[in-house]
Amino acid sequence: MIKNKIYMDYAATTPVDPEVLEVMVNEYSSEFFFERQSSKYIKNQIDTTKHRLMDAINAKSGDVIFTASGTEANNFAIREHAYRRRQRGKRLLVSGIEHPSVLNVFSALETEGFEVVKLPVSPAGVIDLETAKNLVTNDTILVAVMFFNNEIGTRQPVEKLGEFLHERDIAFHVDAVQALGKAEIDISKIKADTMVFSAHKIYGPKGCGALYTKDQDHGYVICAEELDDASIAGFGKAIELSERYLHDHIKKLETLKSRLINGLLKIEAGLSVIGEQEGSHPAIVCFNFPTRDGDGLVIQYDFEGICVSSGSACSSGAISASHVLLAIGMEPVRANRCVRFSLGLPTTNDEIDRLIETTERILKG
């Protein structure tokens, strides 16, 4: 008998919520086709989602630009900051544990003549605030630090850093893709100039990202007719649901995560949790397995019908030592021996228990 599959990779992507799907199906249905063709209708849909997102992050002003993905939003924002301010300086700071969709833009800018400096990250997985402040020089024009790290779940001190940068009028970009629906996000405290979100991480559709910009008078131009208003409406529904139940969701996920952590540590196979847990993402936890390579474990879990993730999978699907784990100072051999579990709203206690049993079986043969 084949057991039900268990999905524990919600930080990668989530299934679409049925209520979100219903909104989208209605939008796509031919009944509404003519109505949907008016730019007023489209603008209305976009505005609804935009205001839901702004409410969710406590933004009183600013604008939201919808994109095809979080990756595209990161590209837009980072490039725009750099190009706009290039007369003022050429120094860009970025944490070494950012998502590739951020880091790769900085690498590209480096080849265009910008100076890119990586902010050091402690072994606990958090950027060192004082060092970061010291690296901010007169010709620094942009700093990018994520809210939650996507591999180890650590919370970055974006409020403190944002305050510091705001006083010095330096652009601050925050990739908050993992944070929406998982934490209270308060832009009045973070003081970010731009922030990025993605619908498919919060039970919304794929192919829909959002860029919040504090500046109304931004340089981003997106033609409304090219946007998929059904996706944006779906994103809006997903934001509505995730905000309405935010505290319940966080509590539920944190409880599941503790069950997972306690259960895996109890196996007594030398497993350890990577990254500080205080204030961490409620549903992401990365474990080090002292004797097993992450890629082998992911495959063994796959044999058992459990979908998890390890390190950074490249375009081929092969798993390499994660740049995040290397950036927090882990030796490559150890970095290769880590697996990320990320839980979601559909996760159950039974699933957690089955994961723990399966892990024990794999490790103890």
Partner 1 sequence: MVKNNRVVVGMSGGVDSTVAAFKLKEMGYDVIGVNMRLWQDDALEEAHFEKDGGCCSLSSVEDARRVCAQIGIPFYALDFKAIFKTTVVDYFIDSYQKGETPNPCIACNKYVKFEALLEKAHQLGAYYVATGHYAKIKYDEQFGRYTIEKSNAVEKDQTYALYNLTQDQLKHILMPLGDFESKDDVRKVAAQFDIQMSQKSDSQEICFVPDQDYVGFLKRNSDLAIKEGAFVGKDGETLGKHQGIVNYTIGQRKGLGVTFGKPMYVIDIDAARNVVTLGENSDVFKSELVADQNNFILFDQLEEMYRCTAKVRYSAKEAPCTLYPEGDQVRVIFDDPQRAITPGQAVVFYKDQWLVGGGTIIRGKGNE
Residues annotated catalytic, as ranges: 314
Each residue 275-294 as x (binds partner 1 by CB under 8 A) or -, in order, gives: -----------------xx-
Q: Hey, is 261 helix, strand or coil?
A: helix
Our measurement of the distance from residue 220's CA atom to the centroid of its chain's CA atoms, rounded to an integer in Å, reads: 22
Q: Which is nearer to partner 1, 80 or 293 (CB)?
A: 293
Closest approach, Cβ 153 to partner 1, in A, equals 23
**DSSP letters of 304-336?**
TTEE-B-SEE-TTS-EE--HHHHHTT--HHHHT
Using CB under 8 A as the binding rule, whether residue 314 contacts partner 1 is answered as: yes
In the complex, least distance from residue 318 CB atom to partner 1, rounded to whole angstroms: 4
177, 111 in Cβ contact below 8 A? no
Q: How far apart are CB 317 and partner 1 at their closest, in Å?
A: 4
- Tokens at residue 201, please? 């991480």
Smallest distance from the beta carbon of 361 to partner 1, in angstroms? 11
How far is the C-alpha of 58 from the C-alpha of 226, rounded, in Å? Answer: 28
Q: How far is the CB of 324 from partner 1 (least distance, A)?
A: 16
- Which window, 1-9, 50-58, 203-211, 295-303, contacts partner 1 (CB under 8 A)? 295-303
Q: Is 224 in the site for partner 1 (CB under 8 A)?
A: no
296 touches partner 1 by CB under 8 A: yes
Return the number of the residue (108 or 261) whose C-beta is nearest partner 1. 108
Question: Of 216 and 316, which CB lies nearer to partner 1 in the complex structure?
Answer: 316
Look at residue 53 and give its three-state secondary structure. helix
Greatest CA separation found in the chain? 66
Q: Which stretch binds partner 1 (CB under 8 A): 49-57, 65-73, 197-205, 311-319?
A: 311-319
103 forms part of the interface with partner 1 (CB under 8 A) = no
* Residue 69 vs 322, nearer CB to partner 1: 322
Nearest distance in Å: CB 287, partner 1: 16
List the interface residues with partner 1, window 320-339 (CB under 8 A).
Answer: 320, 332
Q: Which of 318, 346, 348, 353 binds partner 1 (CB under 8 A)?
A: 318
Q: Directed axis angle between helix 229-244 and helix 246-266, to 10°?
A: 70
Is 3 one of the binding residues for partner 1 (CB under 8 A)? no
CB of 342 to partner 1, least distance (A): 20
Binder of partner 1 out of 35, 186, 302, 350 (CB under 8 A):
302
H or E stretch covering 118 = strand 115-119
Q: How far is CA 227 from CA 35, 45, 50, 222, 240, in A?
A: 16, 11, 13, 8, 20
Buried b (16+ CB within 10 A) or exposed e, 164-177: bbbeeebbbbbbbb
Total site size for partner 1, rule CB under 8 A:
16
The DSSP result for 54-111, as a single string, is: HHHTT-SS-EEEEES-HHHHHHHHHHHHHHHTTTT--EEEEETTS-HHHHHHHHHHHH
CA distance 191 to 326: 29
* Cα–Cα distance measured from residue 288 to residue 338, given in angstroms and rounded to the nearest whole number: 4
Stretch that binds partner 1, among 108-116, 202-210, 264-272, 312-320 (CB under 8 A): 312-320
Can residue 315 be called a binding residue for partner 1 (CB under 8 A)? yes
- Return the number of the residue (17 or 295) whose C-beta is nearest partner 1: 295
R_g of the chain, CA atoms, integer Å: 21
Compute CA 307 distance to the chain's CA centroid, rounded to the nearest angstrom.
Answer: 19
Among 40, 223, 316, 364, binds partner 1 (CB under 8 A): 316
Select 25 or 299, whichever has its Cβ closest to partner 1.
Answer: 299
- Counted residue by residue, the chain has a size of 365
Residue numbers at the binding site for partner 1 (CB under 8 A): 292-293, 295-296, 299-300, 302-303, 314-320, 332
